[in-house]
A and B are shown apart, each in its own frame.
Chain A
């Protein structure tokens, strides 16, 4: 039975924001617990377990919202109540749950004795939920800032490490710069349309009078620059390798997967809901961003010898693929994004989780060549790595293939043939750095000069469960994606605003 929530009444707002409020209260409880039990390593792990409880509770509420078909009574003010919010939130929450599971032992091993880690992770997730669920540019911006601030700190949470501090500072300065662009863009869009509500913006633009307004065009351009930084699109990607390299590995995975997915969710919400009928304003610019991001990200990744930097550049290439889904500007593109975001979260966090098990001290020293002969000593770990690499490559039989397929069909659905060809080309180039990982593990003899990696691999406890779950899900979604694809299609059902405003059915 569909539930309609009245967003102009205080009770309605509280109900609509139930997952966010739940997580905020829970994060404050965790902060208090962390303040009392600061020195005890066992307590740190307990706090991590409690963080999981909060994340799962928020997940349950989101699923309940989706199942019951919760929708706003009238115009969505400030916070959206549509399936895109619920679907996006589920992807972010899954990413966060996997990250917490990977971190439980990692923090102890790397002697990161900061129990606030988990509270900050929850705050980052709150920001993501607000980004993906915003119906207003102000809420979207505040969500983005909440997420960014928490992630800046998480990137530098290894206080004894110089590279971690460098990563945090670099990320903070460039992120603050990008936020400035974004805010300026939002201000200009407000100037052009007189509102920050996404649905009302679409309504203002629907009569066509503002199509070639200079204020709107400059505003959208600045918005794209800001989001370009946040989702690491070329030419705004300079910070990515150093930041991913310096941050603790579970956080690198979290940044590559969930933070990027949240940025894209917010971008899609603006582009499809507010500007979906005025594609002329932005489609060309996003087209070029997608092309150069795919080409340059994949080409630079070819030159990397270190596994962590290679994964960082590969995440830039994947930002390019997701930009292709944005370029289509249709609900089909949004559902392709939702499916790919889920798959990408699984394979990226899985790959970074394995990397965390392979190395020590931030794992930035693990070379791709070090993996030589790993398959002989550790067949299961090599198998998992091979699955992640093949899925990142988009090999048929893995979920990465299905995800790319749906992005391609969304691009072709709007007649973007050239973009589809370039996407395939980019994937072919990416084989040049994903396949050597597999070849090293299975077809080379172990190298002598380094300590034997297969003996020192440390994949136990919850991290083992994370990697195993990711592998199983990637293969399962690769051969039987129907159910999740249906959900992804349902997830972008009511994203287009004009139908809502004019009252006509889509």
Chain B
């Protein structure tokens, strides 16, 4: 049953992602991106990461994409018409790069299999079966995210806030009409 759900959402995510990059209308494209993000949220839940799944829906599929759509509609980019999508050469290059990525994954898998399989290679770093569920039960779904974020990874967390401040200041300095 679980496996069936996983395959369903994986297929939906891939199809939505494909439609997202092939639609000519910016609004349709953005809506397919929302669908992709929803499917990914479902996969997070399947991986016992419920909190990340909820955040994915709230922040990405919700807040960010609504803002995105709002800007697209505000600038009136939703209509069909002129497009800056590349012609057949650009599509061919993109296809070649995509095939390259798939080949890279395949090679990695081959190498892994030759060296005893992915599970054996990464056994040292893998949580035991069901460990995540047990930890969630003990500390709560948020606790297992919050504790490392605000203890072990406190420095990167704070640096990220500086990074975002720089981005905001930079955007205003470059783009505001009258300083």
Are A and B interaction partners?
A: yes
B152 to chain A: which residues have CB within 8 Å? 77
Give the docked Cα–Cα distance between A139 and B158 (Å): 10
Of A13, A120, A149, A191, the contact of B154 (CB 8 Å cutoff): A13
Digitize B111-136: 1 where CB-to-A-CB distance is under 8 Å, 0 elsewhere: 11001000001101100000000000
In the bound complex, do residue B124 and residue A150 qualify as a contact, i.e. CB atoms below 8 Å apart?
Answer: no
In the bound complex, do residue B156 and residue A153 qualify as a contact, i.e. CB atoms below 8 Å apart?
Answer: no
Of A145, A194, A218, the contact of B122 (CB 8 Å cutoff): A194
Q: A120-B166, A146-B162, A149-B166 are in contact. Are A138 and B156 (CB under 8 A)?
A: yes
In the bound complex, do residue A142 and residue B163 qualify as a contact, i.e. CB atoms below 8 Å apart?
Answer: yes
At the interface, yes or no: B47 with Cβ under 8 Å from chain A? no
Nearest chain B residue, comparing its CB with the CB of A146: B163
In the bound complex, do residue A146 and residue B166 qualify as a contact, i.e. CB atoms below 8 Å apart?
Answer: yes
Give the docked Cα–Cα distance between A441 and B159 (Å): 48
In the bound complex, do residue B179 and residue A153 qualify as a contact, i.e. CB atoms below 8 Å apart?
Answer: no
Q: Is the interface of B mostly helix, strand, loop or mixed?
A: helix
In the bound complex, do residue A142 and residue B166 qualify as a contact, i.e. CB atoms below 8 Å apart?
Answer: no
In the bound complex, do residue A78 and residue B156 qualify as a contact, i.e. CB atoms below 8 Å apart?
Answer: yes
At the interface, yes or no: A312 with Cβ under 8 Å from chain B? no
- B179 CB to nearest chain A CB (Å): 6
- B20 CB to nearest chain A CB (Å): 18
A123 to chain B: which residues have CB within 8 Å? 162, 165-166, 169
In the bound complex, do residue A143 and residue B159 qualify as a contact, i.e. CB atoms below 8 Å apart?
Answer: yes
Nearest chain B residue, comparing its CB with the CB of A145: B163
Of A38, A78, A214, the contact of B155 (CB 8 Å cutoff): A78
A149 to chain B: which residues have CB within 8 Å? 163, 166-167, 170
With an 8 Å Cβ cutoff, the count of chain B residues facing the other chain is 27
A191 to chain B: which residues have CB within 8 Å? 122
At the interface, yes or no: B4 with Cβ under 8 Å from chain A? no
Of A28, A119, A136, A152, the contact of B156 (CB 8 Å cutoff): A136
In the bound complex, do residue B173 and residue A114 qualify as a contact, i.e. CB atoms below 8 Å apart?
Answer: yes
Of B104, B167, B170, the contact of A218 (CB 8 Å cutoff): B104
**Residue with the highest number of chain B CB atoms closer than 10 Å, among A31, A142, A143:** A142
Give the docked Cα–Cα distance between A215 and B153 (Å): 24
At the interface, yes or no: B146 with Cβ under 8 Å from chain A? no
At the interface, yes or no: A126 with Cβ under 8 Å from chain B? yes
Give the docked Cα–Cα distance between A214 and B162 (Å): 35
Docked complex: A145-176 residues within 8 A CB-CB of B = 145-146, 149-150, 152-153, 156-157, 159, 168
At the interface, yes or no: B67 with Cβ under 8 Å from chain A? no
In the bound complex, do residue A113 and residue B163 qualify as a contact, i.e. CB atoms below 8 Å apart?
Answer: no
At the interface, yes or no: A79 with Cβ under 8 Å from chain B? yes
At the interface, yes or no: B1 with Cβ under 8 Å from chain A? no
At the interface, yes or no: A116 with Cβ under 8 Å from chain B? yes
Of B111, B165, B179, the contact of A38 (CB 8 Å cutoff): B179
B155 to chain A: which residues have CB within 8 Å? 13, 17, 78-79, 136, 139
Q: A150-B170, A152-B170 are in contact. Are A114 and B156 (CB under 8 A)?
A: no
At the interface, yes or no: A24 with Cβ under 8 Å from chain B? yes
In the bound complex, do residue A150 and residue B166 qualify as a contact, i.e. CB atoms below 8 Å apart?
Answer: yes
Digitize B138-160: 1 where CB-to-A-CB distance is under 8 Å, 0 elsewhere: 00000000000000111110011
Give the docked Cα–Cα distance between A119 and B121 (Å): 47
At the interface, yes or no: A130 with Cβ under 8 Å from chain B? yes
Give the docked Cα–Cα distance between A218 and B125 (Å): 19
Digitize A237-252: 1 where CB-to-B-CB distance is under 8 Å, 0 elsewhere: 0000000000000000
A136 to chain B: which residues have CB within 8 Å? 155-156
- A41 CB to nearest chain B CB (Å): 13
With an 8 Å Cβ cutoff, the count of chain A residues facing the other chain is 39
**Residue with the highest number of chain A CB atoms closer than 10 Å, among B104, B121, B154, B162:** B162
B159 to chain A: which residues have CB within 8 Å? 130, 139, 142-143, 146
Digitize A10-38: 1 where CB-to-B-CB distance is under 8 Å, 0 elsewhere: 10010001000000100010010000001
Give the docked Cα–Cα distance between A215 and B108 (Å): 7
Give the docked Cα–Cα distance between A220 and B130 (Å): 33
**Residue with the highest number of chain A CB atoms closer than 10 Å, among B122, B124, B156, B166:** B166
A130 to chain B: which residues have CB within 8 Å? 159
B162 to chain A: which residues have CB within 8 Å? 24, 123, 126, 146
Nearest chain B residue, comparing its CB with the CB of A217: B111
- A237 CB to nearest chain B CB (Å): 22
Q: A113-B179, A215-B108 are in contact. Are A31 and B166 (CB under 8 A)?
A: no
Give the docked Cα–Cα distance between A168 and B170 (Å): 11
In the bound complex, do residue A153 and residue B170 qualify as a contact, i.e. CB atoms below 8 Å apart?
Answer: yes
A157 to chain B: which residues have CB within 8 Å? 173-174
Digitize A127-145: 1 where CB-to-B-CB distance is under 8 Å, 0 elsewhere: 0001000001011001101
- B117 CB to nearest chain A CB (Å): 14
B170 to chain A: which residues have CB within 8 Å? 120, 149-150, 152-153
A218 to chain B: which residues have CB within 8 Å? 104, 108
Q: For the A-B complex with A139-B155, A149-B166 known, give 14 more contacts whose Cβ atoms are closer than 8 Å.
A: A13-B154, A114-B179, A116-B169, A120-B170, A120-B173, A123-B162, A123-B165, A149-B170, A150-B166, A152-B170, A157-B173, A214-B107, A215-B108, A218-B108
Q: Please give the residue numbers on chain B whose beta carbons come within 8 Å of chain A beta carbons, in ascending order.
A: 104, 107-108, 111-112, 115, 121-122, 124-125, 152-156, 159-160, 162-163, 165-167, 169-170, 173-174, 179
Q: Please give the residue numbers on chain A whose beta carbons come within 8 Å of chain B beta carbons, in ascending order.
A: 10, 13, 17, 24, 28, 31, 38, 77-79, 113-114, 116, 119-120, 123, 126, 130, 136, 138-139, 142-143, 145-146, 149-150, 152-153, 156-157, 159, 168, 191, 194, 213-215, 218
What are 20 A-B interface contacts by the 8 Å CB criterion?
A: A10-B154, A28-B165, A38-B179, A114-B179, A123-B162, A123-B165, A123-B166, A130-B159, A136-B155, A138-B156, A139-B156, A142-B159, A146-B159, A150-B166, A150-B170, A156-B174, A159-B179, A168-B174, A194-B122, A213-B121
